[in-house]
Structure 1
Amino acid sequence: MRIPDHMAHRRAALHKEAQRWLLRLTSGTATPHDARAFEHWCGQSPAHVEAFAETRRMWESLGPAAQAFMAGERTRAAAQSNRDTTMRMSRRAFLGAAVTAAVAVAVVHPPLQLWPSLSDMAADYRTATGEQREVDLGQGVMVQMNTQTTINLRKAQGRVTGIELLSGEIQVKSTAAADGPVSVFAGGGRVDVGVMGKCNVRCEDAGVQVTGLDGATTLRYQGQTAVLKTAQRADYGNGRVGEVTLADIEVTMAWRRRVLIFDGQPLADVVREINRYRPGKIILANDGLAERKVQARFSLNQLADVAALIQDAYGAKVTSLPGGIVILS
């Protein structure tokens, strides 16, 4: 059955709007204003919601083909550079370049983190959302990887000489069989875990957090050095190393027990942390709600119901959308 022209045009228009929304919400940096506007857009009709869901599925399908696509684009770009640069770009070529740019952005910075980025896909080890795993590197070194974590290994003559933490969180344990300190490279610095030592390293956009769990841990960053003993923590980034402070080992180790513990953090920080563990995205669209302090302990098995728990505790309005996207307002 043929779809009437006016319906086909309307469907196409909705998908274009959905694509713009998906790009605007890239990587979870949407503002509360964006979230409220997005909620309003989705609330106009079921067709709007379905258009967004279909668009999200389309972008997801681009992820596995990303490397082949970009390799082809690099080849074509090199060929194009040898042609007459004064040739006027046709409208079709312009649109093609725009599509290429949009795909490249979506591959490097996946909208709402709905699929692994290009660097994640090429890494030696990575964990998906909600996944945790243990990696035995041999040489007396064990690595526990938390959710959304990506690492590469530095090797020389077939032996591991260091761990590059690109993003996420790991716990590194060095046993008596280790040849010497284990080096973790993260955020432009280096963390050395001594023999029979253990530490937790978390790498985020804002910087790197290092917590000593056992033995001695030394961090080096831009000519600055800090030595951590058991239950001590220091952060580094933006050109400086923070003060060494006492650490709450129970909170630091909680993810190993598949538990999240919050002790007076703003709800915005709580939601940001929860989003690392659950599919989709929770978006806070209420500034007052975002500032509320939270005292809570969540099992990772509870996270599917966390929006309902926040609704009960703070009276938030919950709007659920396809793909695990939830707006709290």
Structure 2
Amino acid sequence: MDGHPFHRTTDDELRREAQAWLLRLTSGHATVADAQAFRQWCARSPAHAQAFARTRMLWEDLARHAPNIRESSQLSRKQPSRDRGGPRMSRRAFIGGAVAATAAVLLARAPITAWLEADGADLRTAKGEQRRVEVARGVVVEMNTQTAIRLVPGGRGMTLLEGEATITTGQWLAQPFAVQAGNGRVLAAASSECNVRCMDRGVQVTCLEGSTELACGGLEATVKPSQQLGYDDQGPGVAVAVNPDVAMAWRRQLLIYDDEPLSAVIDDINRYRPGKIILTNRELAARKVHARFSLDQMADIATLIHDAYGADITTLPGGVILLG
């Protein structure tokens, strides 16, 4: 993969080289020499390491939605040069090394990328952090982990850029407090309490007390206490009954899961703990989970899952843990 010493590698070339390395490390034929060459390639420049990180992230996203992506991948078949006579590394060990290298890049870039969508936020919480703020007279907001909020001047409302927040309003509030989230608008009336969760898959609005109105895609809906309604680019769904004690358990430093696939549980847990847990077993990922975790247990979560389901644990640098 070496070019002319005065040749400046283009983004397309870096992407092709990163794809070739990814194919090599998932081939099952990686050697110790490959591992050394891979580390040297990543160390050439931040652009090299970032190119591989982006390729790895794309591969993981595709794999999440297509279980056979590793076999049907259309990535370039170009392979990096290697010493075939060197000692072989196990596929698992080499993938682990690649994940660790990628994690280091992602962690280094976290301050820049974590709030890419949250540019211009007035209030933020980091991973695992929770915060309570009076954003206007008579309006208190409790922010969950990894949440970003932009305030409307004059205390008239806010935009939930990312994350989750509970809005509590006082009885003297003159007009509803407006919360913009995604392509919808939530109105919290006086003496009310509602929770708004804005994630990649859409927005969920949970009414805890009082009146909560929602406007989305030209449609309006009322969310009553102990009801939850989701919406996305296609518009609002149907309000369903929820248990507020379960839905809002995070306010009590708890995470409660009721008959949810372990993959979804891990996605949620990753929002609270440093590093990342990666499931490598599809059957394990599909297992339904009934569990209650304290936020104080986040450091031991992999061990707890191992004890409950017999999952194998591989611990890597950067807080990355493979469960399979």
Place the TM-score, normalised by the shorter chain, in its bin: 0.7 to 0.9
TM-score w.r.t. length of structure 1: 0.73
Aligned to 1:22: 53
User: 1:231 aligned to 208, 212, 226, which one?
Assistant: 226
In structure 1, distance between residues paired with 2:69 and 2:301: 19
Identity among equivalent pairs (%):
42
Gaps of 5+ in 2: 1-34, 72-88
Q: Specify the alignment match of 1:277 in structure 2.
A: 272
Question: Which residue pairs with 2:198 in the alignment?
Answer: 203
Q: Which residue of structure 2 lines up, in the alignment, with residue 31 of structure 1? A: 63
1:117 & 1:196 partners in 2: Cα distance? Answer: 32
* Paired amino acid for 1:278: R
Q: What's the CA shift for 1:209?
A: 0.6
- In 1, Cα distance between equivalents of 2:226 and 2:37: 62
2:298 equivalent among 299, 303, 315: 303
1:318/1:132 Cα in 2 relative to 1: closer, same or farther (>3 Å)? same
**Does 2:150 match 1:118?**
no
Give, in whole Å, the separation in 2 of the partners of 1:232 and 1:58.
41
- Structure with higher RCO (Cα < 8 A, 6+ apart): 1
The CA deviation at 1:204 is 1.2
Q: CA deviation at 1:249?
A: 0.6
Change (3 A) 1:319 1:127: same
- Offset at residue 294 of structure 1 (A): 0.5
Q: Distance in 2 between matches of 1:162 and 1:40?
A: 55
Aligned: 1:152 with 2:180:
no
Match of 1:80 in 2: none
Alignment of 1:91-110 (within 5 A): 107=113
3-state SS of 2:140 partner: strand
SS at match of 1:268: helix
Distance 2:179 2:186 in 1: 5
CA 1:18 to 1:315, structure 2 compared with 1: closer, same or farther past 3 Å? Answer: farther
Amino acid of the structure 2 residue aligned with 1:256:
R
Distance 1:63 1:297 in 2: 29
Q: Aligned to 1:29, what secondary structure does the other structure show?
A: helix
Change (3 A) 1:280 1:62: closer
Q: Which residue is equivalent to 2:235?
A: 240
Q: Determine the structure 2 residue equivalent to 1:267.
A: 262
Q: In the TM superposition, what is the alpha-carbon distance from 1:217 to its structure 2 partner?
A: 0.4
Number of the residue aligned with 1:130: 128
When the two chains are superposed, the root-mean-square deviation of aligned CA atoms in Å is 3.0
Counterpart residue type for residue 179 of structure 1: A
Tell whether the 8 Å contact from 2:183 to 2:233 is kept in structure 1 after alignment. no
Counterpart amino acid of residue 146 in structure 1: N
Letter in 2 for 1:26: M
**Deviations 1:51-109, CA, capped at 9 Å, x for gaps:** 86566545644565x5xxxxxxxxxxxxxxxxxxxxxxxxxxxxxxxxxxxxxxxx4xx
1:292 aligns to 2:287 (yes or no): yes
Count of residues in Structure 1 that have an aligned counterpart in Structure 2: 268
Extract unaligned runs of 5+ from structure 1. 1-6, 67-106, 108-115
- CA drift of 1:11 comes to 4.7
Q: Could you say what secondary structure the match of 1:277 adopts?
A: coil
Query: Secondary structure at the residue paired with 2:173?
Result: coil
